[in-house]
Structure 1
Amino acid sequence: MAVTLKAALLDSDKRGFVVTDLEALVDDEVKDKSGLSGGVIKTGYAAVKKIKPGIIWGVIDTLLDEFVEALEPHWTAYNASPTGDFGAYLAAHPQPVSEALLGVTDRRAEKSNRAAITSVYSKLRGKAQENVIEALPRLGAVVEKHAV
C-alpha cells in the first residue's frame, strides 16, 4: 500500500524541504505568467515578498496540513491505478482538485476578520482557479518527489 501524503509530506524531517519546494513552485508559476494580468501578478508578488520576506514560505507552511488533507483522496485514487505521474493525474482532474485546494483558502478567507483580506481574496478568487489548474502538473511533481 502506498504511503499516505500526511505521513510523507508532514513528517518533521521532510516538511521544510516540502515547503521550500512548494515555494519554488509558486515562484516558477508567477515567473511564467504573461500578459497584462501576468504583469499585475508579478508586480504584486514581488511587492509582497519585498515588504515581508519569508511570507510565502510561512503561508505555505501554515496551510500545508490542510492542503495535504485536500490532496489525500486524489493521491489515494491515483495510487489505486497509477498511470503516468501524479502531475498528469491532477491535470486530468482539474475541477475537483482545484476546488479541493481552493476550499482551503476559501475557508481561511471566510474566517478572517480583516475586511481588506477578504475583499482582496474575493476579487482574486475567480482567477485563482485558473492559476491553480495551470500549476497542477508542477504540484503533482513536487508531491510525488517527496511521497515516493
Structure 2
Amino acid sequence: MDHVWRLMGGKDYKELLLPSDAVNTCPLCYANFQLFEETVETAQEDWKVYAKHFQVPKDVHSVKAINYATLELTTKKNDYFGIHAGERVFVRILNVESSSKSIGGLNYYDFATLVQDIVKVMLDPSNEEATGTVLKWFEN
C-alpha cells in the first residue's frame, strides 16, 4: 500500500514502477499529483481499520497477501486532471503483495505465475465472501 500513500501525499513514487536496482524509465516514474485532501496518516489509519484480507493457500508461492478495502476520501482541486475540490469519493483498493521483485515488466514468466496464483487465491473456497465483494466492484 506504500504506493497509494505516496500518491496521496504528493511524493515521488518511482519505487512503485521499478525496483530500486532497475533501469530508470522516467518520465513515467515521476507523477506527483496530490488528488485527495486526506493526509497520508489518515489514509493509513483508515486502511488499518477497513482493510480485509484474503486467505492465501499454502500451495501459493508468488502471492504474499491480497488485501482490499473501500476508503471514502475528499478530492483536492487539481486543474491538470479537471478535479474539483471537496467531492466525496469512494476509492476501492485491491492490493496484491507479490513475493517476487521481478514483476512489473522485467520478467513476464513470473507475471504469468503471479496471475495464476491470484486466481487460485480468489477461487479458494475460504475466500468466497471476499471474492464476491471484490467482483461486485466491477458490476457498475
TM-score (norm 2): 0.29
Greater fraction strand: 2
TM-score (norm 1): 0.28
Q: Which has the larger radius of gyration?
A: 2
Greater fraction helix: 1
Q: Bigger relative contact order, structure 1 or 2, given CA contacts below 8 A and separation 6+?
A: 1
